Structure 1
Amino acid sequence: MAYQTLLFDIDDTLLNFQAAEKQALEGLFRELKLPLSQTTYDFYHAENLALWQQFELGKISKPKLLVKRFTTLFTHLGITTGIDGQQMEQRYRYYLGQGHEPMPQAPEVLNDLSQKHDLYVVTNGVAKTQQKRLSEAHIDHFFTDVFISELVGAQKPARAFFQRVTADIQSYEPAQTIVIGDSLTSDIKGAAGFGLDSVWFNPTHQPNQTTIKPTYEIDQLEKLETIVA
């Protein structure tokens, strides 16, 4: 089946978010003159992921999420004085904005697909950070538009997010639209809830332990070209 409109997630789909996340936390801890162990990073990563999943379910606001992950982290480390969660978020955000390493094959695949397809970004990330990362990765020019949840006014996987996104796509046809992302609970669930086909990008072959079923599953981005052709 041919697809014309391709809706791409950013983090760990087009840009290596886990690398950027670790780099940002290292920068923050270096600034604070604190050691960052693998155990501490793993705790932060798990807590951050859990909070974003709560955000997807509408159980926490993004501003609260962004601060809570740091208050929780430093409380876990036993550091309760001299730490301001909002300030930690701002400094972390500075370092995160510097992380724009593309996922393998991403620039080449985007270049190929942009010749015959309409490409869009759909992300829940922080607007200013995501825009900066796309620009500095030199892939922003491949996209007709970039839809970011805080600007759209709804977040993946909510139907409202996809309703507002597709309302702004002039040539939108449901049968010719597909969502590409690494998150089952955000990208793939959102696509399914809105009646769109989806591609689960799963390069590390993680087991699907949910009831969410993608239309396709790939472990390399270049395999998209066969699917959407």
Structure 2
Amino acid sequence: MAINTLIFDLDDTLLDFRGGEVQDIRALFEKHAKLSGQALEKALLTYQDINQKLWHQYEEKTIDRTEIFEKRFPETLAALDLADQVDAQLMEEEYAFLRDHNYRMIDGAKDLLQSLSGRYTILAGTNGQEETQLRRLKETRLMPYFDQVFTSESLGIAKPDARFFEKIFAARPKMQKEQTIMIGDGLNSDILGGQNAGIETIWVNLQKQPLPADLKPTKIVHSLNELKTLLQ
């Protein structure tokens, strides 16, 4: 059966979350911890490692989502021996504002969606926060290209759990697994999630990462232009 429905991840697939994160985390540590140079880069890498670990634990259902936001700055500051000098809660609050107003896009995102609009049903399926993702889609003017947006917050379950996708299919009864592709950059969320749900997947590997042996995306692309060509 021909593919007629595309489920897109958002962060680092269409929206440039990583670019905004790097800029914002550097700015926060410059402001609150007065770091610069190598110390600033160490702080950025430490935060990214801890944040990624916590998100992975959330995807594995070993912690609640709220624990990510409660723990990532305290753990980062502790690892940097800055816990007694910097207010972790204030950093989280300021970062939440900066994150919510990160309107960067991956190169080619709007052109890709324009080329697919009217030819496919286009859905968003993201582990991000509902209010944040809706605002970012609105501000980047990508919202009109989506038929519906699904977030882990609204569904009550996160990728890679197959129930994330089951709830999407339940909300759109005309969708068929054989006609649906999950598209995203996250191996342990998008690709594993698609496999768990029994649908085809396209890995958007912009960073040209190695592919683990246990994950088998249907297709791999290294740019949104390549994805555009594939889907056309």
TM-score by structure 2 length? 0.92
Q: Deviations over 1:29-84 (max 9, x none)?
A: 34426225111101111111111111110011110111211110111222223655
* Counterpart-to-counterpart distance in 2, 1:87 and 1:166: 39
Determine if the alignment matches structure 1 residue 190 to structure 2 residue 203.
no
The residue that corresponds to 1:4 in the other structure is 4
Aligned match of 2:92 in 77, 89, 92? 89
**2:29–2:43: 8 Å Cα contact kept in structure 1?**
no
Pick aligned residue for 1:207 from 205, 210, 217? 210
Aligned: 1:29 with 2:29: yes
Give 5+ residue unaligned stretches, structure 1: none
State how 1:104-183 maps to structure 2 within 5 Å: 104-183=107-186
Q: Which moved more, 1:186-195 or 1:206-215?
A: 206-215
Taking the aligned partners of 1:8 and 1:124, their CA distance within structure 2 comes to 11
Helix, strand or coil: the match of 1:32? helix
Contact 1:28 1:95 in 2 (8 A): no
Residues 69/50 of structure 1: CA separation in 2 closer, same or farther (3 Å cut): same
Instruction: Render the CA deviation track for 1:183-215: whole Å, top value 9, x for unaligned.
Output: 111000000011000000012221112411100
SS at match of 1:154: coil
- Distance verdict in 2 for CA 1:98–1:73, change over 3 Å: same
Task: Tell me how far apart the structure 1 counterparts of residues 60 and 3 of structure 2 sit (CA, whole Å).
Answer: 29
1:47 to 42, 46, 50: 50
Label 1:222 to 1:73 Cα distance change in 2 as closer, same or farther (>3 A).
same
Give SS of 1:35's match: coil
Please say if residues 27 and 95 of structure 1, whose CA atoms lie closer than 8 Å, have aligned partners that are also in contact.
no
Aligned residues: 229
Which residue of structure 2 lines up, in the alignment, with residue 79 of structure 1? Answer: 82
Structure 1 residues 28 and 131: alpha-carbon distance in aligned structure 2, compared to 1, 3 A threshold: farther
1:98 and 2:79 correspond: no
**AA partner of residue 68 (structure 1):** K
Let me know the Cα RMSD of the aligned residues.
1.7
Q: Which residue does the alignment assign to 2:59?
A: 56
Q: In the alignment, is residue 17 of structure 1 matched against residue 17 of structure 2?
A: yes
SS in 2 for 1:224: helix
Q: Where do 4+ consecutive residues of structure 1 move more than 3 Å?
A: 81-87, 225-229
Shift of 1:225: 3.5
**Correspondence for 1:219:** 222
SS in 1 for 2:175: coil
SS in 2 for 1:200: strand
**C-alpha separation in 2, matches of 1:51 and 1:105:** 30
Q: For residues 49 and 84 of structure 1, what CA distance do their matches in structure 2 show? A: 21
Matched residues, percent identical? 34
Question: What CA distance in whole angstroms lies between the structure 2 residues aligned with 1:99 and 1:184?
Answer: 23
Letter in 2 for 1:148: T
Any stretches of 5+ residues in structure 2 without a counterpart? none
